[in-house]
């Protein structure tokens, strides 16, 4: 996918021309560098569109989008072709699926249907979301993606696949549930995709969308072309005549911190469950109460406020916990072992055992008393 150069004439999603350009730099929540990106904030819907200024291309088709995470590992190019697809998202995704399932289960009756649900996972890569949902609900999934290696796995798991590099969504097929998980922010024309997906939804069909939150995760990297706040996404879905059943914040599993994913806050992502508008059904629908930013000064202040709050409240706290935990294990392994080493080397005895034996018996007595 080659991106169009310098085409910042309108908001990617609502297509409004009422916007301002801004540049954001921050040490701990870096933005997209001004040398390569034009960022525009849409004063109509409140979303941010990122436009690249150089010859930048992303390849989702040949898997290099996912392989970019292993660039530091030395693997022979020939080997890379035959290695199984790298799925760096699997642990992260697992908790994501549980969260998605819980949200859908709680707020829609889609999963209580007595017949099989027709499900489309748009940008579903390897079909693991479908595989997870299938264990819990009666579902028939189709996985649509650009990545042929992912689709090969989805196909081997027994799902219908649509290779979006060659094929469009079928015109004659409608779905009860469409999931769009961390996909919308990668798309050059998100409005077009939302309208296409709307056509594929059955009457009262459910659309589940999850994207990174502009105020909860950094505007990082080469691959995200839009950034949304919860209200910005709500506004756009309401404008496209979707009705919102439920929306909120979600985040990656905090265990991912150990895999170098530091930007985990309670508001890392936003999700929206919406229904194809049907005036006949009466539900309590949400409306957007948008706070729009007038100029770049106001927006940058807000970004700095949210990012610094997250860095203090979540990220630094997690690092501090890790430091203390490592110090605890360091002292347990190092000091008694050092004593033992010295005593066994020079005095032919074990010191730490003698030292900790009284403590051990005290602990046993304590537990006996408790029983
Ligand atoms: Zn807009």
Question: How far, in Å, from the CA of 266 to the mean position of ligand 1?
Answer: 25
Question: How far, in Å, from the CA of 150 to the mean position of ligand 1?
Answer: 32
Question: How far, in Å, from the CA of 13 to the mean position of ligand 1?
Answer: 5
Question: How far, in Å, from the CA of 240 to the mean position of ligand 1?
Answer: 12
Question: How far, in Å, from the CA of 22 to the mean position of ligand 1?
Answer: 15
pLDDT band at 13 (very low <50, low <70, confident <90, very high): very high
Neighbours of 266 (CB within 10 A): 13
For residue 212, which of 190, 182, 237, 236 has the smallest C-alpha distance? Answer: 182
Question: How far, in Å, from the CA of 136 to the mean position of ligand 1?
Answer: 37
Neighbours of 25 (CB within 10 A): 11
Q: What are phi and psi of 139, to 5 degrees?
A: -145, 140
User: What DSSP letter does each residue of 198-261 carry, written as one string?
Assistant: HHHEEEEEEEEEEEEBTTTS---TTT--EEB-HHHHHHHHHHTTEEEEEEEEE---GGGGGGT-
Alpha-carbon separation of residue 35 from 53, 59, 259, 299 (angstroms): 8, 22, 30, 20
Q: How far apart are CA 151 and CA 92, in angstroms?
A: 19
Q: How far apart are CA 187 and CA 180, in angstroms?
A: 11
> Is the per-residue pLDDT at 26 higher than 60?
yes
Read off the pLDDT of residues 168-219 as tens digits, 9 standing for 90 and up: 999 899 999 999 999 999 999 999 999 999 999 998 899 999 999 999 999 9
Average pLDDT score over residue span 128-149:
90
Alpha-carbon separation of residue 330 from 32, 326, 327, 350, 356 (angstroms): 39, 6, 5, 20, 17
Alpha-carbon separation of residue 293 from 46, 97, 246, 298 (angstroms): 8, 33, 25, 6
- Pairing label, strands 201-212, 226-227: unpaired
> Is the per-residue pLDDT at 369 higher than 60?
no
Question: How far, in Å, from the CA of 44 to the mean position of ligand 1?
Answer: 5
DSSP code at position 182: S
The number of angstroms, rounded, from the C-alpha of 316 to the middle of its chain's C-alpha atoms is 21
Predicted TM-score of the model (pTM):
0.83
Is 16 in contact with 45 (CB distance < 8 Å)? Answer: yes
Question: How far, in Å, from the CA of 68 to the mean position of ligand 1?
Answer: 30
Q: Tell me which range, 23-37, 52-66, 68-82, is most confidently predicted by mean pLDDT.
A: 23-37
Average pLDDT score over residue span 131-138:
86
CATH 3.40.50.150 residue window(s) in the chain = 64-311
Higher pLDDT, 284 or 257: 257
What pLDDT was estimated at residue 79? 63
Question: How far, in Å, from the CA of 206 to the mean position of ligand 1?
Answer: 23
Q: How far apart are CA 158 and CA 136, in angstroms?
A: 16
Helix axes 317-346, 351-370, angle to 10 degrees: 120
What pLDDT was estimated at residue 51? 92
pLDDT band at 114 (very low <50, low <70, confident <90, very high): confident
> Is the per-residue pLDDT at 253 higher than 60?
yes
3-state secondary structure 110-153: HHHCCCCEEEEEECCCCCHHHHHHHCCCCEEEEEEECCHHHHHH
Question: How far, in Å, from the CA of 10 to the mean position of ligand 1?
Answer: 8
Question: How far, in Å, from the CA of 272 to the mean position of ligand 1?
Answer: 17
The number of angstroms, rounded, from the C-alpha of 344 to the middle of its chain's C-alpha atoms is 52
Q: How far apart are CA 111 and CA 176, in angstroms?
A: 10
Q: Percent of the chain beyond pLDDT 90?
A: 44
The region that residue 303 occupies, defined by phi over 0 for left and psi between -120 and 50 for alpha, beta otherwise, is: alpha
Question: How far, in Å, from the CA of 159 to the mean position of ligand 1?
Answer: 35
Q: How is domain 64-311 classified at the CATH fold level?
A: Rossmann fold (3.40.50)
């Amino acid at each position: 996918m080659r991106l169009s150069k310098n085409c910042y004439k309108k908001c990617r999603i609502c297509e409004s021309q009422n916007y301002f350009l801004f540049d954001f730099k921050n040490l701990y929540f870096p933005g997209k560098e001004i040398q390569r990106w034009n960022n525009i904030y849409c004063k109509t819907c409140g979303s941010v569109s990122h436009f690249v200024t150089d010859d930048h291309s992303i390849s989702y088709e040949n898997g290099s989008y996912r392989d970019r995470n292993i660039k530091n590992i030395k693997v022979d190019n020939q080997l890379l072709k035959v290695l199984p697809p790298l799925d760096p998202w699997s642990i992260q995704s697992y908790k994501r699926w549980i969260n998605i399932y819980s949200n859908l289960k709680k707020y829609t009756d889609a999963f209580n249907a007595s017949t099989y649900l027709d499900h489309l996972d748009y940008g579903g890569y390897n079909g693991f979301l479908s595989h997870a949902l299938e264990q819990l609900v009666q579902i028939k999934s189709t996985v649509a993606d650009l990545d042929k290696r992912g689709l090969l796995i989805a196909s081997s798991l027994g799902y219908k696949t649509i290779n979006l590099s060659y094929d469009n969504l079928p015109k004659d097929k409608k779905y009860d549930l469409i999931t769009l998980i961390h996909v919308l922010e990668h798309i050059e024309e998100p409005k077009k995709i939302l309208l296409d997906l709307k056509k594929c939804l059955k009457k009262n069909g459910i659309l589940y969308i999850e994207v990174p939150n502009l105020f909860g995760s950094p505007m990082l990297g080469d691959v995200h072309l839009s950034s949304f706040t919860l209200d910005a996404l709500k506004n756009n879905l309401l404008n496209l005549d979707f009705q919102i059943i439920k929306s909120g914040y979600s985040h990656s599993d905090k265990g991912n911190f150990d895999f170098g994913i530091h930007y985990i806050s309670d508001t890392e992502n936003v999700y929206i469950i919406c229904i194809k508008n049907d005036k006949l059904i009466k539900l309590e629908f949400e409306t957007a109460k948008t706070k729009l930013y007038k100029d770049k000064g106001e927006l940058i202040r807000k970004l700095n406020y949210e990012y610094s709050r997250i860095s203090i409240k979540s990220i630094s706290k997690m690092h501090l916990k890790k430091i203390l935990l490592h110090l605890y294990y360091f002292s347990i392994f190092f000091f008694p072992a050092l004593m033992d080493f010295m005593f066994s080397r020079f005095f032919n005895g074990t010191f730490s055992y003698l030292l900790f034996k009284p403590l051990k018996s005290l602990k046993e007595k304590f537990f006996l008393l408790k029983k």
